[in-house]
Amino acid sequence: IGPSDPIHIAYLLPLGLDWGIDARNAVEVAMDDVGGQILNHSIQFDGQDGGCNPEDALAAGQNLAADGSIVAVIGTGCSGEARAAMPVLSQAGFVMISPSNTGPDLTEPGNPNNHPGYLRTAWNDNVQGAAAAQFAWEYLGITTAATIHDGSWYPDYLQQAFVDAFVSLGGTITAQEQIDPEQTDFSAELANIASGSPGLIYMPIFLSAGGYIIDQARDTTGLETTYLIGSDALHTPDIWMVAGNDAVGFLVTGDDLSARSQDYFNHFVPAYIAKFGYQPSGLFDAHAYDAFMMINAAIEKVAVVEPDGTIHIGRQALRDAMYATADFAGLTGNLTCTPTGDCADPHIAVYEFNSDLYFEKIWP
């Protein structure tokens, strides 16, 4: 990096989703907090829209990998994007750290979807699925449960993590139903689930299927009062648009905002509002902030600075420094990275959708 050249940090995020925009914006807040510079060089921050789908993400990853000026990438937004883009970025020697990928395979040792240079500040869905099982078993006293997934990576991994944890606690799984996410009529699947009389249905799926299932479950004999719990994918007031009043009492797992550092509430949120004019969603903004700060710290650790201001950043040295991150004080907790890139300090909570049309934390 020449004496007057910027340090180039890129993003690969789904800009069609509010939380994707929040993640990008949060990085800009982090850049402000380091004075807009790293090692006295300005920061160039731009990137690609991954679209939350593999096709767009692969094209975006190829574009980024072709730009040798990029030091590190913050992304992807969705786990499916990472599976498509990371092989290209890894081959090019890049570091990429995600604020929102939760797929367990991405950091599973030996898994073909775990690539050198990949890290994340988001939690692993093994943690989220296990938390849902613990909540069901310990807090609700549920001993039987069913699951619903749509066959795609995120729901399938997450429901299996729930199943494994629930069974290990002593629970019984009565059904694991797969649906088509384009369906609108789920009467057959719900009737099959009802035949097993589960105390709870775990459904880590997406809108709009999730909204229809919530609505139709309440009209299915045997499921009128069965607990329904989703994941962070359904942590949105938009479920009321589909499920109406049946959404009241619906449960979701998600990031425990109360576990975030006081800097998140006292500094980050006010700074975000001052810069962008609205409050962040709270989903992955803090994770994106922490991702940038980890990159910043790693660059400062490994960069070789010449007297004229020229900087040399070894790509492997940067990777090594990122993986060596330990007890890093972030907005989301104290982050320590595993050799395959899990860096989060996960805190999962359960929220209930109430009659005031917002999710209220009820556990822990």
Which of 71, 37, 61 is closest to 298 using CA atoms?
71
Per-residue pLDDT of 158-199, as tens digits, reads 999 999 999 999 999 999 999 999 999 999 999 999 999 999
Q: Which two tokens stand for residue 175?
A: 């059904």
User: Phi then psi for 144, rounded to 5 degrees?
Assistant: -130, 140
**Confidence category of residue 283, pLDDT binned at 50, 70, 90:** confident
What integer is the mean pLDDT of 210-217? Answer: 97
Pairing of strands 41-49, 7-13: parallel
Is residue 78 within 8 A of residue 15, CB to CB? The reply is no
Alpha helix (H) residue ranges in the chain: 18-33, 54-65, 79-91, 125-134, 153-169, 187-194, 209-217, 239-243, 262-263, 269-276, 285-302, 315-323
Which of 258, 323, 314 is closest to 286 using CA atoms?
258
Per-residue pLDDT of 102-132, as tens digits, reads 999 999 999 999 999 999 999 999 999 999 9
Helices 285-302, 18-33: inter-axial angle, 10-degree rounding: 40
49: Cβ contacts below 8 Å, ≥ 6 apart: 13, 14, 15, 16, 56, 60
pTM here? 0.92
User: Phi then psi for 238, rounded to 5 degrees?
Assistant: -65, -15
Least confident of 28-32, 80-84, 110-114, 233-237: 233-237
Counting beta carbons within 10 angstroms of the beta carbon of residue 178, is it exposed (0 to 12), middle (13 to 18) or buried (19 or more)?
Answer: middle
- As a whole number of angstroms, the distance between CA 332 and CA 30 comes to 14
User: Which residue type is seen at 228?
Assistant: L
Helices 79-91, 153-169: inter-axial angle, 10-degree rounding: 110
Per-residue pLDDT of 65-104, as tens digits, reads 999 999 999 999 999 999 999 999 999 999 999 999 999 9
